[in-house]
Each structure stands twice: as C-alpha cells, then as structure tokens.
Structure 1
Amino acid sequence: MNFINKSIIFAFITFAIGCLAAEVQLGMKLLVLSTSRPDSVIKSLQSYSIEYDYLEYNYDNPLKGNLPLYTKDEQPKYYGVVLGNGALSVYFKNTGLWGSILTAAQWDYLYDYQKKYGVRIVALDDTPNTEYGTAIFDPSIWGVSSTQKISIANNDIAKSIFKEAGVKSTVTLDTQGLYHVPGKIDNDKIATPVLTLEPNEDLKKESVVVAYTKTEDGRERLSFYISFGDWSINSVMMNHLWISWITRSLYAGERRVTFTPHIDDVFISTGLLNYETNELESAENAYRSTVEDFEILRKWQDSVVEKLPEGSSVRCELAFNGNGVLAVIDPSIALGVDGERYCDIEYKKTPGKGTDRWPVKNYSIPYDKEFLENDSLFAYFAKEENSKNFFWSSHTFTHENLDEATTSDADNEIRVNIEIAKLLNVYDKPYYSSKSIITPQISGLRNVDAINVFLKYGIEAGTGDLSRPTLINTENPYLPFFTTKESSNFEGFPIIPRTPTEVYYSSSTAEENTYIYNLMYKDQLGESTWEQFIQREVDRTLNLMMNLRNEAHQFHQINIRSHDLKEKTGLLEKWSDAVLEKYVKFVDWPVNSLKLDDQAQLYLDRYNRITYCDISKTAVIDGDYITAIKISPNSIEKDCKIPITLPQNAFKDKKETKITYEKRGKDRLVAWVSFEKGEKEAKTIKLNPPLAWAVDAKAIEETEIIEKECWSEALGYRCCEEGESIVEYIDENGWWGVTKGEQEWCGIIKNEKCWAENFGLPCCETEMVDYVLDNGVIGYEEKYENDETRPAGGWCGLKSASDRVFTNAKELFKEQLHL
C-alpha cells in the first residue's frame, strides 16, 4: 500500500481549528518551607518515599530574592507546597516584633505560581486568618494545651478528603500533647471546616481545627491550627490526610503497610517462667511448640485476613534452629554449644580472634530425612502442604551468640542449618529466605568473620532491632543500616530493622507475660493488668504501622502455645488480634506480610533509588488536566525500580516491559518503572482518565479499554496509538490512520463504544437529533452548533448506526475519503 498524505474532509462539516498551548511538565516534588525543621512532615514524606526539597528560612537565614520555583529551563519544579508553620512567622530581634520571614512580594510570587499551575498549599501549625475565611474562635483564648476530641466535619469536602486518603471517617483522634488554636469559619463563601474540636473544660462550644479554603482568585489551601509531633499518632493521621489531598493521590512513591510476625527459636525448647524464684527461663520446666500449636496458628492466619481490608495477607515467619530436632529425637546427639553472650552488647570482635564453642570443626549432619522425621514437628513440616503456610528463615543451627564466634563456629552455625533446610525440603521454595538471616540475640553483626561467612553462603542482609540504635538508620528509618569499618570492620553489609514486642521469649500465657512485664516496669508504671499491657502495645505498634514502618514483629516459639490452653489462643494471636482490630478502625488500606528476603529487598530498593538513580519525574499538563507522567533518567548507576502511585488507572502498553503494575485490593494502582544501569530512555505513563488538576476542572470518566489484537502488524504496520485513530483511508483490510511522528500508516482498532470518534466526531447524545444526512449515520444537534469544544459543531455520529459503519464504512464515506 502506497502512503497517501490525505486528511479526512467531510464536505458537510466545517472544522474549527484551535491552537494548543505548549506542553507543561510539572515537577513531582513537594516544596517544604519552614522556619525550623518540621520532623513530622519530613518523616511522613519519607514513609511514602515522596521527593521533597526542604528550605528553611528564619531571622538568621532570610530568603534573598524569590523562591526557587523553576528549573533552569523555566519548568515548574513543585506540584505542592507545605508550610511547616503557617505564615512562617519569626521573632525579629531588631524590632522586637513577630512577623513572616517572607515579604509580601515573596508571598505574591508564590501565590502567582500556585494559581498558574493549580498547586495546592498545606499550612501546618497555622493560625486562623480572615484572608482565608477563618478567625480565632475566642480572642481571649488564643491557644489550648488541654486534650480535645477531633471529629470530621459534616460536609462533602471533609468527606472527600478522608475518602481520598483511605482514612475512616469514624477514626478517633484528639489533641493530646498538641498545642492548638481553636478557630471558626468567618467567611463560608471561601472556607469550609474539615476537622472540628469537641467542647471541653477550656472551650464550651465546638470549634474548627482544620479548614479548607478556596480563595476568590482560585487558590486552594488546607490549614491546620494545631502543632505536629512525629511521636503523635494524631499528627501522623492528619499527615495522611494532607498528603493525599495535596498530591491528589498522584506521587512518585508508594503507601505500603506490612505486618509480619517473626517466630524465633522454632524447633528448640524454651524454659518456662518460675514464679517461685522469678527465674525467667527455668532449667527444670521447658516448652516446645507442637504440631497442634502450628495448626491452630495456620487456621488463625487464614481467619484473621477476613477481618482486614481487601488485598490483605498475613503469614508468620519461622526462624528455626535445626539442633532442636536432634534434641527431641535423642538429647545425646544434639550439639552441646554454649549459646550465651559473655561480652558487651556492642562488642566489636577483632578479625581472626574469638572463641571456639563447637566441639568439632566442619561438622556435617550424619542423619537423613527419614531419621529426622522421628521428630513429629519435623515430619509435619517436611510435607509441603504444611511448610508452605509459613515463611522460613535461618536462626542458626544451635542458637549460638555470634558476637565472639570464630570463623569455624560461624561456618558450622550457618552451613549446618542450611543442610537442615534442605532436608526439610524448604530451602529452594519461594517461601524460604536464603539471602537474609535472623541471628540469635541480634549477634554477629559487629563480627567481620561472621559477616564473611554469611556472604560465603549467599546471605546478603542481617536483621537488626529497634532496641539497638547503633544498628539502625536513625536519619531515615525506611532505609537499611549499613555496617562500616568503624562499626564492624566491614563496609556495607545491610541490616534490616525489626521491632521487639513486649511479649517475652519465656512467656507462654497472658498471666506469665503480665507477671514478667510487672517485674520489669512496676516501679515505672505501677501494677499493670494484661488489658493495660496490651493497650500500650497496640498504641506503640499502631503508631509504627500508621507511620508506614515495615519492621517485622519479634516473637518466640513459646508464644504460640495454645493447644493445651482453655481458649486455644496463643500470645502471638492475642497480641496480633488486638493490634489489627484497632488498625481497621483507622484506615481501609490492605496490610501484607513479607518474607525476610522480600522485606530486605524493600529497604534496599528504596536505598538504591535514592542513592544510585537520579531520575526526574514530571506530570504532563494539558489544559486543566494531567494526562501523563514522564520518568526521565539523568544518571543510573545501579538497576532500580521507581514506584508511581496513580489516582486511578493507566493506559497499559503490553509491549512496554519496563513498566509493570501492582494493585493491592482497593488501594491505589502503583506503576513500577524499571531502569537498568546506564539507561537513558525516558518512560511515559498515560493516565486513564486524565487527572483533573486545575481548580474546578471536572473529573473525566475512564476510557474503556478493549483488549484486541493488532490486525495491521501482520501487514507490517503498527496499530494507531492515542490521538492517531482518525480514519484517513479504508481498504479491504480495515481502517487506517496516520502516525504522529513518522507520518506512516497505522491500523485502527475500531472504537466499538463510539464509532464516530474514529472519524473525528462525537457520538450523538440521543437518536432524537435535529437532522440526519442521507447516509443515515451522521446526525446534527443544533444546541451544539456554536460549541467551540466540539470540532464539528453540532455534527455527530448516531450510535445505532455502528453495525452499518463497521461493515460498510468504505461505501458510506467513499466521497469524503476520496476512495
């Protein structure tokens, strides 16, 4: 087929030709402005991996000139602005007065930018202001420190903000520990309450603590008349509200909640509490979890998911010690290795030194699988139908503390437990973590000899503990800690954090755990009940989860004892039930368990894209809408994946192998964009539908995507893409359009929803049109005669004519297409 550069010319239609504005690429970064570091804001943005620039201005560091809002090529850098403390007020030492650190001209420059690009502003720790339609509720009470309950206001704007964030409108929040300024709506034409304060002893009437404002010139602002603290779950929840609102749920990051109970010491026995001697781990009386305990745990995993948001999954990780199998079969054949710590907890071992505790070097298991199945628990898990219900990882063979371990001891501990994993038939399974380890007592991570043994056997990450601040990333808790020469005589071994629970390693019942808890905390907290204990644990853990922290939760094998208890419920299940029951009262987000390797990879992926991948992310603005996201690599030093959370859907190109999509339940769709080291090619994600961005822009319905094979590929031509599916030619093969760039033919996949769009027309609203052409497929609607948004005024295609057009278009449009 020879290429003919023709346009469709309908003799009966006059096309109105308009000029499109130049494409704007809006940077997908937030600008955070404050007079002092707003830790709550920074940590919440880190939790989503949302990029931001933090600029701090105060009396000693005033802004000179205007804010740096544009790139060198004059493209807008930010798609949202966060004010860490409202009007950015500071105390001017030279005048003795308070005022904004920004001048009126500098504010106007920011507001002009806001109007021009539809950017929203969030003001935290703000003060009511008549400019934004609010005022102090009672001028005689400027601020309040007492606790007031916070409730959602009863209006559509407030409800939409909660819905956008996936936060339950029934969530219970308050101002505990947060200084706040009760406000009121002074001008309801521009301001709307979002969160209100219930009356208390200081304020006898309902007041406003968060307000939405749309000024007369169209600027949108969300103002919080309350201070923020990164320790406060109330602040955390309000952060989720404004993050979703300011980004419209479009951001280069992801919101991922994880919940993975780790069960250490599987296969070994643990001494029970001795009430008479206060001995936490009795040498006389021990407990080892049973097949029945694990069956109860399996059933609990399945049932608890039913109470969680759609897309959730819960699975426990079993960190096992193979020596426990030998000890059950015949105590005389178990390895007698002293597992205790005899050095300082932060001890750094000299390379090549240490103490051999194993009786033999290069030990190997002299038993086969059949022999090991004399242990009923080993036999149970040797069946894949049972082992696959849990995640698996190594906790070393005998549970030796590795802080002072020699290379020989460390090698035995790691290699022999791998042998057990292979005999158990879990080592090569997708639910086993071979690249990570949980060491006993968080040991060996300052021992270079142990680290080298880990690496020898393919173990690329260790597990830390939030109680060990020297082994966690204190600057960004969403990233791994990497060992250094100073910390461990080894540079760059990643350590993934884990949270210790107050469910203790020798507690098998609620009574035992409460007893130990009071031994530890009675002087500080007074005598506590189980109910008080569990409430504190729920609050602590929920704060971590709402902060999107991905640490797993530490338990021990004795904590799942249940089969011989009256209520058949272990401590792990009780603790988890209480936490998750409170979780679902807060949000609609799915929660998922991750095996140890996947958890480590989650942290490492974040680190790699921050450290090794310089990538620009921009939102393409076309008129009032964001139509696409452009991801452009500047420098890729290591393979990385970039998450882009989308408010709705996207046009997915099956040929684009570097972009994959993940959707957990009803949570937002996440596009994962992969780049290889050295790659330079930009990627584009087209939104479906385009995102209404400008103030008052109307939402557009999603375009129905009909999956069809590309018929023209067999003829050597690709199919038409968006904006190309306008019929230029028709032959016996099908309908043909022209590509935008190369001006080549492309095959049109017929629009079965509205055939007329393939001919540059809209479909008629109804069949009752004012005029129908002789061909019987084109109608005219007079009410659209002067509508400039329609390319052919009132002309439209009759939907009822679709069958005729699909089968006989060549004849129907022969004259117009000059066929």
Structure 2
Amino acid sequence: MRHFSQIIGPFFLAYTLLSSSVSAQVCTNTTTTGAKQIASTVLVFARDATTSYTATSGLNAHGIPYQLVLVPQTGVTLPTLNSTATKGNYGGIIVLSEVSYGYTDGTGWHSALTTDQMQTMYDYQTAFGVRMVRIDVYPNVEFGTTTAIASTGCCNAGVEQLVSFSDVSSFPTAQLKAGAGISTAGLYHYPAVITDSSIAKEVAQFAPSSDGQFATTTTAAVINTFTGGRQQFVWFTSFATDWSQTSAYLQHAHIHWMTRGLFLGRRRIYFSTQVDDVQLSTYVYEPAGDRFRLRPTDLDNHVAWMKDINTRLPAGSKYVMELGHNGNGNIEWAIDSNYSGVCDPAGMISLDQPADPPLEFQKALGTGTSLWPTTPTTYPWTLACAKQDTLLVWFLTPANRDAYFHISHTFTHENENNATYSDIVHEITWNQAWLKQVGLDAGVFSSKGLIPPAITGLHNGDAIKAWMDNGITAAMGDNSRPPLRNTDNEHWPLISNVANNGYAGLTIMPRWSLPIYYNCAVASCTLDEWVNTSGGSGDFNYLLQFSKTTYTRSLFALRHDAFMFHQANLRTGDVDSFTVGSVTGTLSLLQIWTEVITQEMSRLTNWPLITLKHDDLATDMRNRMTRDACAPLLSWTLSADGKSISGASLTTTSNTCSVPIPVTFPGPATADGNGAVTSEQVGSDPLTLWATMSGSQRSFTFGSPIAL
C-alpha cells in the first residue's frame, strides 16, 4: 500500500497510516487552569479514499478544514488529539461506517479502531467540548437504541421508506424543514427504536415502508448526550453524497450540529440558469424541419414568471435568468424583415462551416482556416437596421432589458475548436460592438465573460488568446466533459494552461448540461431526444424526477455551477398546459425545470436562492480557490468554567490573504480592528463575517457565549 500525505488547498488530507511513533494525547482533567483553545479542523475516519468523500464533501462544500485518516483493517495510530492540556487540535470528529471490517479470527465484524482508541476520543470530547458524528451504524445499547425489527434492515429493491427530520431544534443554523420526507432508495439502513431516552433524542425518522414490513415510523438518527456532557450524532443509515440527493441533504444537520453553527466558510446557494443562442433560431429535433425563434411574448411571460417565483422562494432569494446573445441572429432577422433598404450590407455573416472536430480536439497554434469574409473588417450595421427585428426592439426598453442578466455568446456561433485567431477576434469584437449598439451592455452585463458556442475553443490556444486579448477572463465549460473540470477541488474553476488548453490564464467555469435539449421547445421533443440519444426512459414526469434528484444534489452539495438552457427552451403560451406543484400554465421547458428544482429546495430548506451574473460568479469561484490556498484556520476559546465558547480567532499562512475569509456564526458577532470586515446575512441564513487578513490574526467576540 502506498502511504502519502497530500495538501489540497487548506485541507490536510492524511491519506496515510499515521506513524506509530505518534502517540495520542488527551487531557482528562477538565479543571486545568487557563482557557482552552480548540482548532476547528474536523478529524475524519474512513476505510478508503473513495468512500471518504461521503464524510468530507460537505465539509469541503462549506470550506471547513478537515484531516482525513484512512483506517485499514489492521488498524491505525490515532493522531495527536491535543498538544497540551489546554490546546485541542480538532473541533469535531466524524467516523464513517465505524471503519468496520469482517475479521476471520473469531471476533466477527467490528471497528478497526480499538475500544481504547474510542475511549481516548471520548475523553478528548469531554475535556474540550468537541462533538462526534457517527454515520452508518447499527442500532444498539451504546446509542440507547435497538432495531425496530430484530436484526432487520431496509430496504429491498423497489421498496421505499422516506426519511425526514423530526426535530431540528438542535441544529437551527442548518435551516432544514421538519417533516419533509425524502427517498432512501439505494441507501441501506436500520430502522430503530429508542430504548433509553435518558441518553438518546430522536432527530430524524423513517416513515413506514412501502411494502408494509415496517408499519410505523421508526428512528433514523439520534443525538446522544452522556453523563459528563459528551455528545454524538448517530445515523442509522448509509450515506453516499457522490450520487444521493438524500445524503447531500441530510449531511447539513450533523455538520451544523457538530460545529454548533460556528465554522470557517459559509453556506450560500447560487442558482444560475443561462440561456444560450438568444437572437438565433433553432431547427428543432421534433417535429423535423420545424424552426423556432424566441418571441417578445415569450420574454414577457418569463418576466412575469420571475416576479412571481421570487415571491414564492425563501426570504432573501433573488432569481434572474441570464441570456447569452449572438448578434448575428438579430442582423439576419432584421435583414429578412427589411424592405426599405435600411440594412447595409444587406446580408448577414454566413459561414461555410466544415464538420465539427472532436470535442476535446486540441488545435496546433497558428493553424486552421479562416471562415470569415475579408470585408467588412469592422461591425458595419446601424441601430436602425437592428431595430427592424421585433425581438431586438423588445430589449430596447430598459425595463425589459434589465429584467434579465446578459452575456456574449459570440457573434455567429462559429465552432471554435479549429478556428483561427482572426476569426475569433471577429466573433468577439463584432458581438461586443453589437451589444454596445443595442444597449445590452448598459444593463446587468458580464463584459469579462463568455459562453463559448457549443462550449468549443477551450483547447484552442488561438481562441483563448483572442478572448483574453479582448477582455474575456472567464468562459463557461461543461461538466459532462472531464477535461473541463478541476479535479483537485469540485468547488474550484479550472484555470487554463498551455499543455491542455493551448493558452494559460483563462478561468473555465463549471456548468451542468441537462436533459432539456438545445433543439427542443416542447416536452415531448426533449423526452424523445433524451430516450433516443442519452439512455433516458419513462415519461416526461420521470425525466423531471431524474432532474430533481440529480440537480438538487448539486445544490445541496453547495456547488455554484450554472445550468445550461437554450433559446428554444423558452417557448411559452402555445404549448400544452403543465402543472408543477401549485403552478399551472402553458410553461416553457425552462420554467417547468426551474419550478421542479426550486420547489424541491423550498420544500426541504429555508435557504435563499440567489443568481449572480456570470462575471460575479467567476469572481466568487476564483476567490474560493484563492482563499483555500491561504490555508485559513478558525480556533475558538472556551470560557473559564468550560461550559461555553467565549470567542474565536482566525489565522492564515503569514496571516495574509489577497481575498477576505468568511466565518459563519450562530448569532451576533463582531470582529477586532485588525483589518476590514464585511457583514453578510441573507434571509434566514446565519451571519457570515468576511475578514480581511493584513498580517495579523483576527479575533471575534459573540453577542452571547455559545453553550457547549
């Protein structure tokens, strides 16, 4: 077995059997004089790196530092829990699946951590007021529980047993809703009953199973409080945050409970629906030969709908659609509508495009054949020409324009994988000129952003150079293509380099492609294309169920990746009526999908959903990457009597960082005067203070001590 340690951002991942020369220390004398200080790093135990994601992904999502210890069947030496009697090294402990194995020495199935090692951690918890989380355990007397049916778990294939929170009072900053059931499909679990209520309080429960085997509600999770004050959160279900919407949702309870709502990082949901190909028309998949182009009435309907949905989203929400424009589409329709000779030249830019090269084709620099005409050399049309198109005229009213966010999608939508530098300069600069002429750049516009046509050009150094030479710093990628994702941290963008992309320094932002296809305007079309081309099955409602479980998982994972739509997906009015929850109408595919996602988020949480324009989202992602590299660490101080947390402090490498560091608090808090601080609190979300690190440690005081 290869032993190694790796640093990824601020998170020290101990992929190693820690040296036996390292002895575990713990202070069991809780009367030691001097205030105790505890680092917020979470200690995580798992059997292997793959399954450890289930325990660590939620911490990483918030920005909470953790140390991962992989425990083989032969056991492991504990890391040093406390350096001195007053200095604790870990602010929380997570044990996944009890790090258990099946042994052939007659002892059966049990943890690779010894009883003495567990007691050492229990003593550390008691001495420093640190909480433990145990995920995927079997109900027994240790937890004040037993299985509801002797030695019986659930569920067989095809059997459903919903899980929900029955008591959310112990983790209020998580802002999860009690009584909202969610599927346990694929997550084996052991329905439990409490046998000792003096140590066990139920916080989550299973509903009766669909096959009738479990006829009543049973316990899914408890919080144990033992004599001496030691506490642990125990889940009687397996977890799989890499694919399970349910696991990604449930994890917020134990993370906020374990940290008491005081942690490095923040929780924020950024929800972005980007619409490509605006101004163009699209030949649809079905009916064959039909063509659709967005109409002013479609835009009006979406404006009214955005106003309505924002009244139904949790407090603090601000959802706005973002439109990616191709100016050549406007000119094409203006010329087709021009009977008075207003447009000169009287022809749009028409490119004879060859067959598309492979998606990940990397063009040799300086190669390729230019497709653009040699004249005119600059954007030639007048505003009077552009106004011959009724769709463009709609955007000329500032209130209409400002109901949406806007970004460039290039001028003609030329495939850029094998395009020349000259062609790309034309694509960027002509669209910039058109956007300025028609006033879209005076709205909420991302001047530094780009949605590349068909997400091409990201391995073409000439294209990236042309973008960056003309002010573009961040372009959208596609999560379905692994080379366009950052494999070091899913919350970071990818920064282009010469070897893989041909040119260095471009921010490539993650974005989800959906089973809502670019060339579909109605439900039957996108369903058929999903089934015929992408392995889909079932009816349109099943497609929506797939979308709900797949893409809310991304939001519960606190991913800030945008979602991809296209102009054909905005057809409203002359489509079949459809109902999503309380909303019924002749809805567009985008509206239907968004209602499904947002209604599910609002059913399960009180979290505000906020849209950032492309440029601001890129800044947010880059800042996350930058602050992780600063290795921030939060520590807290216990009160003299050891019954509460009285204050906290923040450090980084050299106590500097080029971007502010967020710290989340369960109640009112203030920062010292050693630098700037910005307060952020949206809706029912907890308070976050963004602290500037200018060479000194930052200290925080609380409006009230945080009880242990």
1:554 is aligned with what amino acid? M
The aligned runs of 1:178-217 (5 Å cut-off) are 178-200=187-209, 201-217=212-228
- Cα RMSD over matched residues? 2.5
Describe the shift of the 1:686–1:74 C-alpha distance in structure 2 as closer, same or farther (beyond 3 A).
closer
Residue 388 of structure 1: aligned partner: 402
Residue 427 of structure 1 aligns to a residue in which SS?
helix
Residue 318 of structure 2: aligned partner: 313
Q: Are 2:639 and 1:622 equivalent residues in the alignment?
A: yes
The offset of 1:442, in angstroms, is 0.7
Residues 51-85 of structure 1, C-alpha deviations (whole Å, 9 max, x = no match) = 1111112224x323x43223589621211111112
Q: Distance in 2 between matches of 1:560 and 1:504?
A: 12
The offset of 1:568, in angstroms, is 4.6
Residue 243 of structure 1: aligned partner: 255
Residue 135 of structure 1 aligns to a residue in which SS?
strand
Q: Distance in 1 between matches of 2:201 and 2:657?
A: 48
Q: Are 2:627 and 1:609 equivalent residues in the alignment?
A: yes
Q: Are 2:354 and 1:343 equivalent residues in the alignment?
A: no
Q: Are 2:521 and 1:508 equivalent residues in the alignment?
A: yes
Describe the shift of the 1:220–1:20 C-alpha distance in structure 2 as closer, same or farther (beyond 3 A).
closer
8 Å Cα contact 1:341-1:403 kept in structure 2? no
The aligned runs of 1:119-518 (5 Å cut-off) are 119-141=130-152, 145=156, 147-152=159-164, 158-161=167-170, 163-200=172-209, 201-230=212-241, 231-275=243-287, 279=288, 282=289, 285-331=290-336, 332-338=346-352, 341-360=355-374, 363-427=377-441, 429=443, 431-518=444-531
Q: Distance in 2 between matches of 1:361 and 1:610?
A: 49
Residues 464-511 of structure 1, C-alpha deviations (whole Å, 9 max, x = no match) = 112112211244221112333332223443211111121221212223
Q: Which moved more, 1:401-410 or 1:629-638?
A: 629-638
Q: Which moved more, 1:634-643 or 1:546-555?
A: 634-643
The offset of 1:219, in angstroms, is 0.8
Residue 651 of structure 2 aligns to a residue in which SS?
strand
Q: Are 2:94 and 1:82 equivalent residues in the alignment?
A: yes
Q: Distance in 2 between matches of 1:499 and 1:347?
A: 21
Residues 176-207 of structure 1, C-alpha deviations (whole Å, 9 max, x = no match) = 11122233222221112222333434445543
Describe the shift of the 1:73–1:456 C-alpha distance in structure 2 as closer, same or farther (beyond 3 A).
farther
Residues 491-538 of structure 1, C-alpha deviations (whole Å, 9 max, x = no match) = 4432111111212212122233334334335xx555x33323222222
8 Å Cα contact 2:137-2:234 kept in structure 1? yes
Q: Distance in 2 between matches of 1:26 and 1:241?
A: 22
8 Å Cα contact 2:286-2:520 kept in structure 1? no
Q: Distance in 2 between matches of 1:404 and 1:153?
A: 53
Q: Which runs of 5+ in 2 are unaligned?
A: 1-30, 337-345, 577-584
Describe the shift of the 1:362–1:673 C-alpha distance in structure 2 as closer, same or farther (beyond 3 A).
farther
8 Å Cα contact 1:262-1:318 kept in structure 2? yes
Q: Are 2:571 and 1:561 equivalent residues in the alignment?
A: yes
8 Å Cα contact 1:614-1:635 kept in structure 2? no
Residue 689 of structure 1: aligned partner: 704
2:59 is aligned with what amino acid? L
Q: Which runs of 5+ in 1 are unaligned?
A: 1-18, 695-819
Residue 299 of structure 1 aligns to a residue in which SS?
helix
The offset of 1:627, in angstroms, is 2.6
Describe the shift of the 1:351–1:143 C-alpha distance in structure 2 as closer, same or farther (beyond 3 A).
same
1:485 is aligned with what amino acid? V
The offset of 1:575, in angstroms, is 1.8
Q: Distance in 1 between matches of 2:32 and 2:126?
A: 20
Counterpart among 520, 530, 537 of residue 533 in structure 2 = 520
The offset of 1:92, in angstroms, is 4.4
Q: Distance in 2 between matches of 1:410 and 1:435?
A: 15
Q: Distance in 2 between matches of 1:167 and 1:45?
A: 17
The offset of 1:103, in angstroms, is 2.7
Q: Distance in 2 between matches of 1:29 and 1:362?
A: 61
8 Å Cα contact 1:341-1:401 kept in structure 2? no
Counterpart among 4, 26, 36 of residue 48 in structure 2 = 36
8 Å Cα contact 2:666-2:687 kept in structure 1? yes
8 Å Cα contact 2:462-2:502 kept in structure 1? no
Q: Distance in 1 between matches of 2:200 and 2:415?
A: 62
8 Å Cα contact 2:171-2:261 kept in structure 1? no
Q: Distance in 2 between matches of 1:206 and 1:299?
A: 42
Residues 370-396 of structure 1, C-alpha deviations (whole Å, 9 max, x = no match) = 432232332332333222211111100
Q: Distance in 2 between matches of 1:638 and 1:119?
A: 29
Residue 45 of structure 1: aligned partner: 59
Describe the shift of the 1:422–1:395 C-alpha distance in structure 2 as closer, same or farther (beyond 3 A).
same
Q: Distance in 2 between matches of 1:659 and 1:583?
A: 31
2:479 is aligned with what amino acid? L
Q: Distance in 2 between matches of 1:308 and 1:586?
A: 12
Q: Which moved more, 1:218-227 or 1:176-185?
A: 176-185
Residue 626 of structure 1 aligns to a residue in which SS?
strand
Residue 780 of structure 1: aligned partner: none
Residue 553 of structure 2: aligned partner: 543
1:614 is aligned with what amino acid? A
Compute the TM-score of the two structures, normalised by the length of structure 1.
0.75
Residue 539 of structure 1 aligns to a residue in which SS?
helix
Describe the shift of the 1:343–1:586 C-alpha distance in structure 2 as closer, same or farther (beyond 3 A).
same
Residue 21 of structure 2: aligned partner: none
8 Å Cα contact 2:275-2:566 kept in structure 1? yes
The offset of 1:637, in angstroms, is 7.3
The offset of 1:555, in angstroms, is 1.0
8 Å Cα contact 1:170-1:585 kept in structure 2? no
8 Å Cα contact 1:338-1:400 kept in structure 2? no
Residue 159 of structure 1 aligns to a residue in which SS?
coil
8 Å Cα contact 1:616-1:634 kept in structure 2? no
Q: Distance in 2 between matches of 1:92 and 1:437?
A: 56
1:219 is aligned with what amino acid? R
Residues 284-322 of structure 1, C-alpha deviations (whole Å, 9 max, x = no match) = x42221222212111111110111100001101110011
Q: Distance in 2 between matches of 1:144 and 1:286?
A: 48
Compute the TM-score of the two structures, normalised by the length of structure 2.
0.87
The offset of 1:434, in angstroms, is 1.5
Larger C-alpha radius of gyration, 1 or 2? 1
Q: Distance in 1 between matches of 2:478 and 2:104?
A: 45
Number of residue pairs aligned between Structure 1 and Structure 2: 653
The offset of 1:548, in angstroms, is 1.7
Q: Are 2:650 and 1:631 equivalent residues in the alignment?
A: yes
Q: Distance in 2 between matches of 1:605 and 1:304?
A: 30
The aligned runs of 1:578-593 (5 Å cut-off) are 578-593=596-611
The offset of 1:341, in angstroms, is 5.0
The offset of 1:249, in angstroms, is 1.3
Describe the shift of the 1:649–1:603 C-alpha distance in structure 2 as closer, same or farther (beyond 3 A).
same
Which is bigger in relative contact order (C-alpha 8 A, separation at least 6)?
2
Q: Distance in 1 between matches of 2:32 and 2:88?
A: 19
Q: Distance in 1 between matches of 2:516 and 2:326?
A: 20
2:147 is aligned with what amino acid? I
Residues 386-417 of structure 1, C-alpha deviations (whole Å, 9 max, x = no match) = 22211111100100010001010011011111
